[in-house]
Amino acid sequence: MEETGEIDENIAVKGDLELNLNTLKMVPCPYVDIITEFADVEIFLISFDSLLLELCAHRYHNWILGGQTIVISEQLKHFLCALEELNAKFKIVVFSDLSVLFNKNGYLSFLYSYLLRFLTSSKWNGDIEIFNSPLDKRWNVFLHQLTPSFILMSLENASPREIFGIEKLTIDEKDKKKKQITVYEDIDFASFFISTSFQLINEAIPVVLFNAFTINFTSVMSFRFSTVPINIANLNKKIAALWTKISEEKQLNKIEIQQQIQKQVCECKTAAQFWAYVVCKAMKDNDKKDYNFEYVCMSVILSASVCARLGTGRKYLEEEENNWRNDPALKKFQYLQLKGKHFWSNLYWILSASIFP
């Protein structure tokens, strides 16, 4: 990225180039004050998918503790309220095809479903705009009718990788016995964010990054991609080729709403009741019933009960010196969250997120 400075109006990105970060870096991206974009007549977009990854990336999260939903939802409220204090007008944009990527990880899958429901039950419900992808015809119409001043998003994958990546087993070539080891691969969100950035810049809509986005009393500092000419060969075809893959996968993975689950989960009045329901279903799976799985389940229900009673006023444990990311309980929590996400997905617009603090 660049520091604040003058932009050469003759710069253009052209040629048969790949839609990757190196190509995007050819577009000037100075660190500037965008406070003028918050005028009453202006409206901008916020990428929900990027925002979720940004909230998850904060280092103080401890994913073997319960109650991270309350932390993330409070973060989201503080962020959106801080924007509103500057008289900001915005729309929160969701590309539902990206749910395929979120579903590749237990934590992300659950948080994606949860945070969507949290927003739909909040005062920002009317500010949410959901599209399949940047290929959606409604998206193009929406952009031309709204003419947003910019979009706030990121260009990065989920972090940390060992929590939000894909777990795979491989052979340790350095070990004489060729033991199997666990490695974690990134889920490729970045390619989809970058391709969307090219599309928007091509439509003369600036892209503002979450990275180093700073709100002060008199300024809003950010990295802002300029809207220079984009003349990349077959630009639209390259964007379509990328997004079509996950669009087809989403269609294959659609699950019909189960009436029995709908009725039982809708009767849950608190987060603890919801997790008790999830635990009952999870305990029926024989492959997960090891010697301490029941203790993990009980800790989840207890934590949910404490969160419901104390909310943000509860005390948080200090992080231990040993690396909690290697705690074996993580896999069990991920399994429960996958179960919980499954029920959320089957109740997309029915169950209110208000049962979670």
Asked if residue 219 and residue 262 are part of one domain, the reply reads: no
For residue 308, name the pLDDT band (cuts at 50, 70, 90).
low
Asked if residue 205 and residue 260 are part of one domain, the reply reads: no
- For residues 326-350, one letter each, b for 16 or more C-beta atoms within 10 angstroms of the residue's C-beta and e for the rest, the string is eeeebebbbbbbbbbbbbbbbbeee
Asked if residue 129 and residue 110 are part of one domain, the reply reads: yes
Asked if residue 47 and residue 12 are part of one domain, the reply reads: yes
> Do the domain assignments include residue 182?
no
> Do the domain assignments include residue 37?
yes
Asked if residue 262 and residue 244 are part of one domain, the reply reads: no
Q: How many structural domains compose the chain?
A: 2
pLDDT for res 101: 92
> Do the domain assignments include residue 174?
no
Q: From CA 157, how far away is CA 222, in angstroms rounded? A: 19
Asked if residue 150 and residue 89 are part of one domain, the reply reads: yes
Q: Cα 325–327–332 angle (5° rounding)? A: 105
Last-in-domain residue among 252, 273, 306: 252
Q: Does pLDDT of 352 surpass 60?
A: no
Asked if residue 310 and residue 203 are part of one domain, the reply reads: no
Asked if residue 194 and residue 126 are part of one domain, the reply reads: yes
- Over residues 255-268, the pLDDT tens digits come to 443 434 444 445 55
For residue 50, name the pLDDT band (cuts at 50, 70, 90).
very high
For the domain that residue 211 is a member of, what is the CATH number?
3.40.50
Is 131 buried (19+), middle (13-18) or exposed (0-12) by CB count in 10 A? middle
- Over residues 58-79, the pLDDT tens digits come to 877 777 665 578 888 899 999 9
> Do the domain assignments include residue 171?
no
Last-in-domain residue among 252, 271, 306: 252
Last-in-domain residue among 252, 270, 288: 252
Range of the domain at 328: 255-357
Asked if residue 119 and residue 18 are part of one domain, the reply reads: yes
> Do the domain assignments include residue 17?
yes
